[in-house]
Chain A
């Protein structure tokens, strides 16, 4: 008699099998029935990339750098995203806007260089939270896979959204297929 830990233990029937049981016919039939049932049930896999799974509303993916409605870059290189970043993935260099560049940059100062190291990034979204200028957002996309590490250093050009004034078509396309739903709380 061994020690009984729970009341869920089932007594095992250890009697030798009868001649009918030794044919295994009934058990094979039972197994095949289970297999057959799965032919008609709902599949759990999707054929990516033709099909994609819907993301949660708060999914945090690849970063984008925003422009305002006039197509000017919003980022002013204040460095708050970089100082908030727990993984120290963001680096930047600022420049002063010259005369005649007012249509390119929203503020007097702008980010001449802006890089995110996606190998370091942990997609926590603190940069988005810290940004005082609505300039950085985490989108609903994964970072694409790459064979080389250098492909994961995202520069400003890689993250900037298409210009809604000069490149309207690309901008509309970049808005994506997800329709903004009416807010429900």
Chain B
């Protein structure tokens, strides 16, 4: 068909989203056009992920209303369309936050996604950077109307690096696309269908592809989390810094999540939409070695603090510029200031005897009891001498 008409498309298409007009390349989806406008106009996306081919169209959170199809065919589209899978047309008019239908539909989608979600955010490691949390805060009610039992699954072990919580999964298929496109050999996918569908490895195979760790970063919820970071800290207590190292397998450009000088977690660098950044035209996926094994600051070259959006909890209680007043005691009194109390001599938290970042997997009572025994021994030795 397209060959018969053979008409040169205009170089740029004019798409109007929420009364803001942008000029986009042909083939750009409504979602991408809306992201060019930015701010509240960009619809939320739970399953669409720009670097992954074929992603999108599953979660329905990015639904928008098309009030004018195009310049040539100005009829509105009868139903709400998924903006991540719908291409922009010249003269198209789209309503996102200006349409009550869209807001209503999105609230409904949010409620549906939360039906089977366990809402264990206080335990979940994704809390603070979870797309589903953001969605339900923006488009959700404070209480659930669902009064039946939530679905549960048999536990699957995905190896030593990745923790799977199937109950939290919203079936966005991002991890499946990642496993398919980024790693050489796909070992996990979605089994069964309907309410029973679950991510799993086929015949309980553990995942040992070099790039499989990226499924953690693409997961919009806490279904796939980093086992080496599990329960060690909350996301917003760690300080994100950009760092890089020379790596043969990947780009080596990452974000480190530190507490002091301990590297608690390594992730890919993400842009403002929560997607992996690209470097020199290549998506910045990182390999398992960089992600799970390089938990020492000396492995990395620190570039500087990651910029965190002002509204995000991840920026809470972090000070970019430490404005330390000049200490004048030494000048005036000819001595060092007297410390009334060194907090580390009293506090058990962040003990120098245990390096949480170096422990594989989550810390348990064993780790803390061992540290306690060590501390007691040190105190006794001090008393004897």
Residues of A within 8 A of B (CB): 76-80, 82-83, 88, 91-98, 101, 107-109, 112-113, 115, 117, 132-133, 148-150, 153, 155
Kindly report which residue of chain B lies nearest to residue A83, judged by CB atoms. Answer: B316
A58 to B40, CA, bound (A): 40
Answer whether A83 and B317 are a contact pair too, CB < 8 Å, given A96-B362, A153-B343.
yes
CB distance from A30 to the nearest CB of B (A): 53
Contacts of B361 in A (CB 8 A): 96
Q: Which of B156-209 contact A (CB under 8 A)?
A: none
CB distance from A78 to the nearest CB of B (A): 3
- Confirm or deny: B58 has a beta carbon within 8 angstroms of a beta carbon on chain A: no
Contacts of B348 in A (CB 8 A): 113, 115, 155
- Confirm or deny: B263 has a beta carbon within 8 angstroms of a beta carbon on chain A: no
Of A98, A101, A153, which is in contact with the most chain B CB atoms at under 10 Å from its CB? A153
Answer whether A94 and B232 are a contact pair too, CB < 8 Å, given A80-B122, A150-B345.
yes
- CB atoms of A79 and B237 under 8 A apart: yes
Which single member of A91, A96, A97, A149 contacts B349 (CB below 8 Å)?
A: A91
A43 to B340, CA, bound (A): 40
- CB atoms of A113 and B123 under 8 A apart: no
Which single member of B127, B237, B346 contacts A82 (CB below 8 Å)?
A: B237
- CB atoms of A88 and B236 under 8 A apart: no
- Confirm or deny: B142 has a beta carbon within 8 angstroms of a beta carbon on chain A: no
Contacts of A97 in B (CB 8 A): 364
- Confirm or deny: B329 has a beta carbon within 8 angstroms of a beta carbon on chain A: no
- Confirm or deny: B52 has a beta carbon within 8 angstroms of a beta carbon on chain A: no
Contacts of B343 in A (CB 8 A): 117, 153
A107 to B122, CA, bound (A): 10
Kindly report which residue of chain A lies nearest to residue B316, judged by CB atoms. Answer: A83
- CB atoms of B365 and A101 under 8 A apart: yes
Which DSSP category, helix, strand, loop or mixed, fits chain A's interface? mixed
Contacts of A95 in B (CB 8 A): 231, 362-365, 367-368
- Confirm or deny: B50 has a beta carbon within 8 angstroms of a beta carbon on chain A: no
Q: Which 4 A-B pairs have the closest CB atoms?
A: A78-B122, A79-B234, A96-B362, A149-B341
- Confirm or deny: B141 has a beta carbon within 8 angstroms of a beta carbon on chain A: no
* Mask of B310-334 contacts with A, CB within 8 angstroms, 1/0: 0001001100000000000000000
A150 to B123, CA, bound (A): 31
Of B237, B343, B366, which is in contact with the most chain A CB atoms at under 10 Å from its CB? B343
- CB atoms of B231 and A94 under 8 A apart: yes
CB distance from B124 to the nearest CB of A (A): 9
Contacts of B122 in A (CB 8 A): 76, 78, 80, 107, 132-133
Kindly report which residue of chain B lies nearest to residue A117, judged by CB atoms. Answer: B343
Q: Which of B106-123 contact A (CB under 8 A)?
A: 120-123
Answer whether A153 and B347 are a contact pair too, CB < 8 Å, given A79-B236, A113-B368.
yes
- CB atoms of A96 and B231 under 8 A apart: yes
